[in-house]
Structures are given as C-alpha cells and as structure tokens.
Amino acid sequence: ETGVTQTPRHLVMGMTNKKSLKCEQHLGHNAMYWYKQSAKKPLELMFVYNFKEQTENNSVPSRFSPECPNSSHLFLHLHTLQPEDSALYLCASSQESREYEQYFGPGTRLTVT
Amino acid sequence: GESVGLHLPTLSVQEGDNSIINCAYSNSASDYFIWYKQESGKGPQFIIDIRSNMDKRQGQRVTVLLNKTVKHLSLQIAATQPGDSAVYFCAENTPFPTDKLIFGTGTRLQVFP
C-alpha cells in the first residue's frame, strides 16, 4: 500500500464516546500532521510531529490528544467531543517538518451527535 | 475529502477552455505559496508551488502567477479536462513569528462538456 492511509473513513460518535483516528504513511517521511477541515472554513493545522516529537500544537482543545509512536504512524484520540467538532480530519506527511510539499490522506469524516 | 464548504466560489468552464483560479493572500511577508487540488472523497493534492522571488512558474498544463504588489496569486489550467473538476485552494507560508502554512477556503472548478 502506498501514500498516506487513514482509518476509519467515516465515524459517528456520541459526545461521551472515546474513539481514535489512525494515520499511516508509507513514504518514509519524518514529519506528520493533523488538520481539521470544516465546512466554509480553511484547512486548520492542529498538530505537527517531526521525528516522533510534537513540534506544534495549534491551540487545540485537550479533548483531542495526538500520539505518534513512530514516524510512520499517527493517532488522534478523541474524547468528550462537541457537535462543532464534526469535520473532516486529514492527516498529512512530508519529508521534514519545514517542507510544505505535504502528502495528504483521504481523511476521516467525523460526525459528533 | 468532500467539498470544503457548501458556498464555495464556483468557476464553470467548458472542456478544452483555459481556467483561471484566483487567490488573495493576507501577509505581505509570505515567502512561499502552494496550490492544492482536492477531488471529492480525497485529500488535498499538491499541484504547484512558487517562491516569492519569482513571478511565474509553469508545470504541466498549469501555471502559477504571483503578484506581490497586490498580494494576488492565480492558477491557470490550460485545456481544462473533466478530471480537473475539484476544489482548488492556495496556501501561503508566513515566516514570522514562526513558519506557518495558512490555507485559503478554496474555489470549486466545474468542467462541463
């Protein structure tokens, strides 16, 4: 499998649930990113990891908790979300964190009920 | 990823015509710009980039023009094809206070036969 993959592709969860989004990149990149894409809004950067270390947290609420066990895998743990958190969550990777030719996964469409 | 928003600006062009998609960026200090394409059900895909020391850059069927005087970026697609139908958005890198990629909301390109 090539590129950046994300699972699940669709997720519906209640506000009291705990779920996790998974991202895997098969490109040998060292940097990985989480973005949020909401209707009528530009793409919002959430977190940046470079060589498994978090280098940026863009003022994201603590109900979103990222985890990067190695350079190929990135998780986003979700708990006690709000309906306004419903969005498309995109994962991306790049060779290094300062390189902006990022490769995106297909995203997880999250609906919080 | 599905559409960025329900009320995106839309450009409708006939197959074979040239398309011009425009973007106004916000920061005069931005030094690097990217155009992304996002097809329905997919994540954004890098198309072409340009640095602020250039006015024009050409790729295969695509040209990016940068006008720093008016902070304007455009993407020209030659001989538009049905496969070009997607949402296109620009991103600018603002170097201060930290390197940060800021995305636009996007323009939907519809190609009709």
Nearest CA in chain B to A91: B43
8 A C-beta contact, residue B57 and residue B75: no
Nearest CA in chain A to B9: A40
Tokens of A67: 């985890």
Please name the residue that has the structure tokens 């919002």: A44
**CA dist., res. A39 & res. B103, Å (int):** 14
Residues in chain A: 113
Phi then psi for residue A106, to 5 deg, are -75, -15
Closest CB from A37, A42, A100 relative to B104: A42
Omega of the bond leading into B97 within 30 degrees of 0 (cis): yes
Greater confidence (B2 vs B83) lies with B83
Whether residue B7 is predicted with pLDDT greater than 70 in this model: the reply is: no
Hey, which residues does B107 pair with through a beta bridge?
B88
Residues of A in contact with B30 (CB under 8 A): none
Paired sense of beta strands A44-50 and A10-13, if any: unpaired
Paired sense of beta strands A108-112 and A10-13, if any: parallel
- Write out pLDDT tens, residues A35-94: 999 987 889 999 999 888 888 888 899 999 999 999 999 999 999 999 999 999 999 999
Closest CB from B4, B7, B41 relative to A106: B41
Hey, which residues does A45 pair with through a beta bridge?
A35
Paired sense of beta strands B86-94 and B100-103, if any: antiparallel
Q: What is the pLDDT of residue B102?
A: 86
Phi then psi for residue A100, to 5 deg, are -95, 5
Could you tell me which residues come within 8 angstroms of residue A98 by beta carbon, excluding any fewer than 6 positions away? B99
